[in-house]
Amino acid sequence: MSKDKGGARRFATVPVALGDRSYPIHIGSGLLGWLGGEIARHTKATRAAVVTVPAVGRRYAGRLLPSLREAGLETGQIAVRDGDSHKNLREAARLYDALLDFRADRATVVVALGGGTVGDLAGFAAATFLRGLPFVQIPTTLLAMVDASVGGKVGVNLPRGKNLVGAFYQPRLVGIDIDTLASLPVRERAAGLAEVIKAGLLWDAAFFEQLEGNAENVLRLKPEVLLPTIERACAIKAEIVAEDERESGRRMLLNLGHTLAHAIESLSRYRGILHGEAVAIGMLFAARRSEALGLCPPGVAGRVERLLGRLGLPTDLPPYPRRAYLSALRVDKKRRDARIQFVALRAVGRAETVPLTPAEILPAGE
Amino acid sequence: MSKDKGGARRFATVPVALGDRSYPIHIGSGLLGWLGGEIARHTKATRAAVVTVPAVGRRYAGRLLPSLREAGLETGQIAVRDGDSHKNLREAARLYDALLDFRADRATVVVALGGGTVGDLAGFAAATFLRGLPFVQIPTTLLAMVDASVGGKVGVNLPRGKNLVGAFYQPRLVGIDIDTLASLPVRERAAGLAEVIKAGLLWDAAFFEQLEGNAENVLRLKPEVLLPTIERACAIKAEIVAEDERESGRRMLLNLGHTLAHAIESLSRYRGILHGEAVAIGMLFAARRSEALGLCPPGVAGRVERLLGRLGLPTDLPPYPRRAYLSALRVDKKRRDARIQFVALRAVGRAETVPLTPAEILPAGE
């Protein structure tokens, strides 16, 4: 681990231990300029198809592509449409077409350069084109860095619901260049931080306390806190996913706040609210509900609310009618029969799933 | 293993050993009537979506559905369009929609009842809907029984090529009811037998000799030879796939005859020729080419030609221009750079891959 003059670490690696599907997450500054060699080494590919949206491509492809070519890979750049509304089967079909034009074969690595949407879409194409090409993720948003880069969830939306089609497909390598956060609007940084806070809240009380001490400095991208924060958030998720790759048990804990978040996003038709913002609301809701059910001691929800509030994250449930929430909860895809595995808190740093009906999650009169 | 009065076995199980993705292939007569309990036991599902084409559903769903319901599963039947031309992303989207209508969740097993096309399409939907539902295959054609039921290859076609999108996704169980072959036209039985002959030719000389002795009786569905023939063909494929689930090495041997077969199918636009017929032509071509290259002793191609001929299978390369074949070979998806891993014979029962360019596979003037 190298240190610069100020003593801040410049580079870290988080291993994701999944047997023969294990891979490293490299985190650092200036990473785009040397990642090509790592990609060549981890994939043995001879060609790289870099999938990105135009705005990200204009900004960062110029750093990544030369590094890939220096490593001996033939490169191509494929632009996909920006925005979650284009994360669908039609855009996947366009991407397959572009891969055919690039003459992609099984020695071609698909490199997703961008936010969560690009990673999900390109990852789904990588998982399914020719029954699977090697895949590398280079997330450029804080949310994608701490969330999408661990776990191997890839997929697209259907008209009737989000992420209904996809796969568990692990990348060979994730490269996080923290320099790319400089161009990320503060509101999106805060939304990404909501998932970081979630990781602490469900798994690591000391990390949650650290964030209570320095969250604003993460938001301001202070290097001495930014890198270790991303590193710890990735490591927590890696630890949980390593125990439960296909989400049959403990991995469900990562859904803390997400049952309500999905309902809020669906009711708002994904307009005007970022995913991390919906998670912030859902996470506080889960904390309050856990207190009300006597599952965790009073005071937890207050700490969550204060921390989220300091970052300007929303905390109040949008005022849709209760019956609208109930009906949105019923289509949650983790539903198994009538009950939902609701993630509740036992304390700061400790979560567990509780099977609840929608009406128990959202009792009348609250 | 039970025997009937005539001494013929009525039931067999072939294990497919793939670690935690291992599964059994049950083969027998009257299987549809009792498979429900096995499906419930192997999948722990509470609901079953039986995917089939109308003609097969009319004939066999009435035997399968009551057995599923007796085992406590809630059942639904989903009809997909018949024919390889409907094995595409659009039909997959219709199938996702039907699964949503059925309120399929992760405790829902997708049961493919039909030929290879239904298995590929339903398997792809099972592999990708909600990132993967349990999957069971009940093949009703000889080709699907001996080929698609082992290996976990699922997928759909793109307008620019067959099977370009898909996954390796193992079923929890395969159930082969040999009674369903009675309704299969003789031409399709022979085409399925081509894949059986291929298994012997590339892996098991004694099995190939057996087929030289009794192929007509398999074609006539004589029970005393039909069941052990299907059993051995499945076991050979299972043995190879167990060594190489993701087709990086030995599994390529199963492509014997397929390089040319794919070119023939593509040039004929998949009209007028069955897959097994194209494989018959490609397999004989590979035998002849192997002799010409000095890789195997003379006489092998002659034995292959006589056996295929007795079953009425085609053996001559359709008379497209050489340049058309060359260009069709160049889009073969197993292509790695310019050379194709061509499967050649060293003897009856022994195959190996040889990297050849399209022009070496099909030299001028031959």
Q: Which helix (H) or strand (E) holds B324?
A: helix B322-330
Residue that is written with structure tokens 């190298």 in the block:
A2
Residue A161's pLDDT band, with cuts at 50, 70 and 90, is confident
pLDDT of residue B1: 44
Residues B230/B195, Cβ–Cβ less than 8 Å: no
Q: 3-state secondary structure string, A26-89?
A: EEECCHHHCHHHHHHHHHCCCEEEEEECHHHHHHHHHHHHHHHHHCCCEEEEEECCCCHHHCEH
Q: How many CB atoms lie within 10 A of CB A6?
A: 8
Residue B7's pLDDT band, with cuts at 50, 70 and 90, is low
pLDDT of residue A352: 96
Q: What are the residue numbers of the active site of A?
A: 131, 153, 195, 237, 247, 251, 255, 258, 262, 275
pLDDT of residue A337: 52
Whole-number average pLDDT of chain B: 93
Q: Is the pLDDT of residue A39 over 60?
A: yes
pLDDT of residue A149: 87
What is the Rg, in whole angstroms, of the alpha carbon atoms belonging to chain A? 20
Q: For B11-183, give the CATH class.
A: alpha beta
Residue A1's pLDDT band, with cuts at 50, 70 and 90, is very low
Of B107, B160, B166, the CB nearest to A131: B166
CA dist B33 → B36, B177, B248, B274 (Å):
8, 9, 38, 30
For the full predicted model, state whether its pTM sits above 0.90. Answer: yes
Q: By CA distance, what is A124's nearest residue in B?
A: B128
Nearest to B331 by CA among B244, B252, B251, B267: B267
Q: Is the pLDDT of residue A138 over 50?
A: yes
- Residue ranges per structural domain of chain B: 11-183, 187-361
- The phi, psi pair for B51, rounded to 5°, reads -100, 125
pLDDT in tens, B82-109: 988 999 999 999 999 999 999 999 999 9
Beta-bridge partner residues of A52: A79, A113
Residues constituting chain B: 366
pLDDT in tens, B188-245: 999 999 999 999 999 999 999 999 999 999 999 998 999 999 999 999 999 999 988 7
pLDDT in tens, B131-165: 999 999 999 999 999 998 899 999 999 998 889 99
Residues B149/B137, Cβ–Cβ less than 8 Å: yes
Please report residues of A whose CB lies closer than 8 A to that of B158: 93, 96-97, 100
Spatial separation of the C-alpha atoms in residues B128 and A129, rounded to whole Å: 13
Active-site choice (B63, B153, B198, B288): B153
Of B92, B128, B337, the CB nearest to A167: B128
Q: By CA distance, what is B106's nearest residue in A?
A: A336
Residues A284/A301, Cβ–Cβ less than 8 Å: yes
* Complex prediction ipTM: 0.91
Q: By CA distance, what is B130's nearest residue in A?
A: A164
Residue A10's pLDDT band, with cuts at 50, 70 and 90, is confident
> A145: which 2 tokens?
């860095």
Q: For A186-361, give the CATH class.
A: mainly alpha
Nearest to A150 by CA among A185, A129, A176: A176
Residues B351/B201, Cβ–Cβ less than 8 Å: yes
Spatial separation of the C-alpha atoms in residues B264 and A154, rounded to whole Å: 35
Please report residues of A whose CB lies closer than 8 A to that of B168: 131-132
Kindly give, in sequence order, each residue whose CB lies less than 8 Å from that of residue B181, ignoring residues fewer than 6 positions away: B140, B141, B142, B189, B221, B226
**Active site annotation includes B131:** yes
pLDDT of residue B246: 75
Give A224: exposed, middle or buried? Use CB within 10 Å, 0-12, 13-18, 19+.
middle
pLDDT in tens, B23-49: 999 999 999 999 999 999 999 999 999
Of A127, A130, A334, the CB nearest to B164: A130
Q: Do A167 and B246 touch (CB under 8 A)?
A: no
> What number does CATH give the domain B187-361?
1.20.1090.10
What is the distance in angstroms between the CA of the first residue and the CA of the last residue of chain A? 50
pLDDT of residue A5: 46
pLDDT in tens, B293-312: 999 999 999 999 999 999 99
Spatial separation of the C-alpha atoms in residues A50 and A113, rounded to whole Å: 7
Q: Is the pLDDT of residue A3 over 90?
A: no
pLDDT of residue B244: 80
